[in-house]
Structure 1
Amino acid sequence: MTTRYAHAHLKDLSPHDVHALYKLRTEVFTAEQRASWAEADEIDSRETTWHVRAYDENDHLKAYTRLFLAPSVDDTTKGELEVRIGRVAVDKHNRGEGLGRKIIEKSLEICKKEFHDIDVALEAQTHAIDFYKKHGFHTVGEVFELGGIDHIKMVCPADDLK
């Protein structure tokens, strides 16, 4: 089965792609995980936000992440800004195919290309800590609750991006 990867700003996506990404995010975070945050937010439409998508040969969205610049609010990353990876989602019908690994690898490639020397951070659900460690991330700080789910901040220094 062939997977096609793409990344774009929200304004450059087709209505079909926008609908598909919000549908996948709503299914994963609202329906499955019962997260209490608003699924669509102002971060989606920022000029510095990239929407990374994985499609099958029928143009069905299988996996997604978003990348965006944010102020570094603590001293866990170097510099005034950090790139954040968020809304990591894999369609429940495609789990177990390695798509989570691949979409993170693609996201890190884009971080290196588009954001150059800026450290990458994410708020990992605690059950996924080992998964992100395999991609060069390390935990920083304490566990916190976000949307009713335990998370921890993880950082991958820009110098470690492959």
Structure 2
Amino acid sequence: MNWKIKKFKELSGEEMYEILKRRNEIFVVEQKCIYQDCDNKDKSAYHLFLDKNGKIIAYLRILEKGVSYNEISIGRVLVDKDYRGKGLARQMLLKVIDFIKNNLDETIIRISAQEYLTRFYKSLGFEEVSDVYLEDNIPHIEMLYKE
């Protein structure tokens, strides 16, 4: 299994297909959430993912300042259901925080987290900065990481 981080133009067609497939399986089918996944933000994003024999088993995207928020942000965070509970999400978040600090020279990260994951993100240093709100009919909360 290899962690990879790539800009959109560096992704192969197979990698992008797997990323979109996995995002749709989890967010649209599993979470029963109808939303526009292809939002043009992927084109300017970094994509961090764990590949196992051509299958994406963990993924997130990093959006530059000004794309979604005034700060760098991360989103579309997922772990394949067969690999949950093994610490991959924590490992991935630690990797992305390190990448953002050391490669993008940023120390503030904003996320729109699903509310049920608040405690997980708090354990990584994120703090709640909004009230709970509905996004695509799922309770979310904005959280901020500051170094």
- What is the identity, as a one-letter code, of the residue corresponding to 2:141? I
Task: Indicate the residue corresponding to 1:64 in structure 2.
Answer: 59
Choose the corresponding residue for 1:90, options 79, 95, 100.
Answer: 79
Choose the corresponding residue for 1:134, options 123, 133, 144.
Answer: 123
Contact 2:75 2:112 in 1 (8 A): yes
Contact 1:126 1:150 in 2 (8 A): yes
Task: Indicate the residue corresponding to 2:103 in structure 1.
Answer: 114
Q: 1:15 to 1:72 in 2, by over 3 A?
A: closer
Shift of 1:113: 2.3
Query: 5+ residue gaps in structure 1?
Result: 75-80
Shift of 1:147: 0.7
Is residue 49 of structure 2 the alignment partner of residue 53 of structure 1? yes
Query: 5+ residue gaps in structure 2?
Result: none
- What is the identity, as a one-letter code, of the residue corresponding to 2:102? K
Q: Percent identity of the aligned residues?
A: 30
Whole-Å separation in 2 of the counterparts to 1:38 and 1:44: 12
What is the number of equivalent residue pairs in this alignment? 147
Task: Indicate the residue corresponding to 2:19 in structure 1.
Answer: 21
Contact 1:82 1:118 in 2 (8 A): no
Q: 1:11 to 1:72 in 2, by over 3 A?
A: closer
Aligned alpha-carbon RMSD (Å): 1.7
Whole-Å separation in 1 of the counterparts to 2:13 and 2:68: 34
Shift of 1:103: 1.1
Shift of 1:117: 2.9
Contact 1:29 1:35 in 2 (8 A): yes
Shift of 1:71: 2.9
Alignment of 1:4-19 (within 5 A): 4-19=2-17
Whole-Å separation in 2 of the counterparts to 1:65 and 1:124: 12
Task: Indicate the residue corresponding to 1:150 in structure 2.
Answer: 139
Normalization by structure 1: what TM-score?
A: 0.85
- What is the identity, as a one-letter code, of the residue corresponding to 1:33? Q
